[in-house]
Amino acid sequence: IHDDYQKTADWLTSHTKHRPKVAIICGSGLGMLADSLKCQDAFAYSDIPGFPQSTVQGHAGRLVFGELKGKTCVCMQGRFHMYEGHSLCKTTFPVRVFKLLGVETLIVTNAAGSLADGFHPGDIMIIKDHVNFPGLVGLNPLSGPNDDKFGPRFPAMSDCYDKGLRCLAMDIAKQQGVAGFMQEGVYAMVGGPNFETIAEARLLHRLGVDAVGMSTAPEVVVAAHCGLRVFGLSLITNKVVKSYEDSESVNHEGVLEVGRLRSQAVQQLVTELISRMEINNNIVKNAD
Ligand SMILES: O=P(O)(O)O[C@H]1O[C@H](CO)[C@@H](O)[C@H]1O
Ligand SMILES: Nc1nc2[nH]cnc2c(=O)[nH]1
């Protein structure tokens, strides 16, 4: 209920002077994004009233406030997944807290396996759209009574990944010389925690999914519902095995390792995007 989100937002407001306009959710192995924030105020999730706990390796479990290129940001170093046993409401709890804190733009990142033939580990995929498999069968964070203070009962999802930000990110990647490993595509969320069988991988591939992971879609649905502008990135950490002849298999350590390898590139891209995003969207820049 609204009061729970408000209580957490009020607690945070009374513990930090930062008033973020941008929120970042760090995916597996991508938590270093938070380290580059200046003038940090950091809180362990266990100290924040109402916050769930991170249980996954590679998700530190800290909320970090600070400045990035003069813009005030809040960064989740560690996200919540459905497979950890959290309800979808809890999984997405921080997104509504961010809304109440005054955040306008949400940047989501994740680690994902690729299905698309031209994609390789280490590629960075700008998320153009998603398939929310749990959502399609009713496992949706918006299930239950609608909270009209946040958004409508039946929110549109056809434009949830902001086109302006996607174009800007691609321009920045070209300028930074990393266009060679940039992709754009469709992310699918599955429940996890197991990785895909070969039959499941083939199914997803046939359905037009470019990358698959176990997060992000619920956060984006809740963000779109309450009117946040969303930008999403998947770091391709592995190819999803689609052949019975293939002897490779995926594991979480490998996922985290690719995260570390590409952390610098992801950080540079996100930093520059944050630095330039308002101008691109013709929002008058603040005096800061
Ligand atoms: O989506 P993020 O949190 O980046 O993590 C991805 O990586 C983990 C599997 O290695 C899963 O949790 C999957 O969802
Ligand atoms: N479901 C799923 N999640 C991932 N996260 C990182 N890699 C993968 C993958 O191959 N499959």
Please tell me the distance from the alpha carbon of residue 73 to that of residue 271, in angstroms, as a whole number: 11
Residue 281 has pLDDT above 70, yes or no: no
Q: How many domains does the chain have?
A: 1
* 81 labelled catalytic: yes
Is 100 contained in some domain? yes
Q: What is the pLDDT of residue 13?
A: 98
* 247 labelled catalytic: no
Confidence of residue 278 (pLDDT cuts 50, 70, 90): confident
Please tell me the distance from the alpha carbon of residue 170 to that of residue 186, in angstroms, as a whole number: 16
Residue 156: exposed, middle, or buried by beta-carbon count in 10 A (0-12, 13-18, 19+)? exposed
Given the residues 44, 60, 83, 87, select the one marked as catalytic. Answer: 83
Q: How confident is the model over 129-175, as pLDDT tens digits?
A: 999 999 999 999 999 999 999 999 999 999 999 999 999 999 999 99
Pocket of ligand 2 (CB under 6 A): 111-113, 190, 192, 195-196, 212-214, 237-238, 240, 250, 255
Ligand nearest to the CA of 252: 1
Residue 198 has pLDDT above 70, yes or no: yes
Atom in ligand 1 nearest the alpha carbon of residue 259? 4
Is 242 contained in some domain? yes
CA of 236 to the centre of ligand 2 (A): 9
Is 287 contained in some domain? no
Q: Please name the residue whose Cα sits nearest to atom 10 of ligand 2.
A: 113
* 18 labelled catalytic: no
- Alpha carbon 172 to its chain centroid, in Å, reads 19
Q: How confident is the model over 113-136, as pLDDT tens digits?
A: 999 999 999 999 999 999 999 999
Is 288 contained in some domain? no
**Choice from 54, 81, 187, 190 to test ligand 1 binding pocket (greatest atom count within 8 A of CB):** 81
Residue 200 has pLDDT above 80, yes or no: yes
Residue 285 has pLDDT above 70, yes or no: no
Is 285 contained in some domain? no
Confidence of residue 11 (pLDDT cuts 50, 70, 90): very high
Q: How many CA atoms lie within 13 Å of 285's alpha carbon, on the beta-carbon side?
A: 12
Is 90 contained in some domain? yes
By percentage, how much of the chain surpasses pLDDT 90?
A: 85
Q: What is the mean pLDDT of residues 206-234?
A: 98
Q: What is the mean pLDDT of residues 257-263?
A: 90
Is 47 contained in some domain? yes
* 28 labelled catalytic: yes
Q: What is the pLDDT of residue 230?
A: 98
Is 61 contained in some domain? yes
Is the pTM higher than 0.80? The answer reads yes
Q: What is the pLDDT of residue 57?
A: 86
Enumerate residues 6+ apart whose C-beta is below 8 A from 215.
27, 79, 81, 110, 189
Q: What backbone torsions phi and psi does residue 9 show, to the nearest 5 degrees?
A: -60, -40
Q: How confident is the model over 173-192, as pLDDT tens digits?
A: 999 999 999 999 999 999 99
Given the residues 200, 252, 275, 278, select the one marked as catalytic. Answer: 252
Residue 253 has pLDDT above 80, yes or no: yes
Q: What is the pLDDT of residue 174?
A: 97
DSSP state string for 118-176 = T--TT-EEEEEEEEEHHHHTT--TT-SS--TTT--SS---TT-S-HHHHHHHHHHHHHT
**Choice from 76, 216, 253, 255 to test ligand 1 binding pocket (greatest atom count within 8 A of CB):** 255
DSSP state string for 87-120 = -HHHHTHHHHHHHHHT--EEEEEEEEEE-STT--
Q: How confident is the model over 61-103, as pLDDT tens digits?
A: 999 999 999 999 999 999 999 999 999 999 999 999 999 999 9
The answer to whether the bond into 49 is cis (omega within 30° of 0) is: no
Neighbours of 187 (CB within 10 A): 28
Give the domain CATH number at 117: 3.40.50.1580
Domain extent for 210: 2-280
Q: Please name the residue whose Cα sits nearest to atom 3 of ligand 2.
A: 213
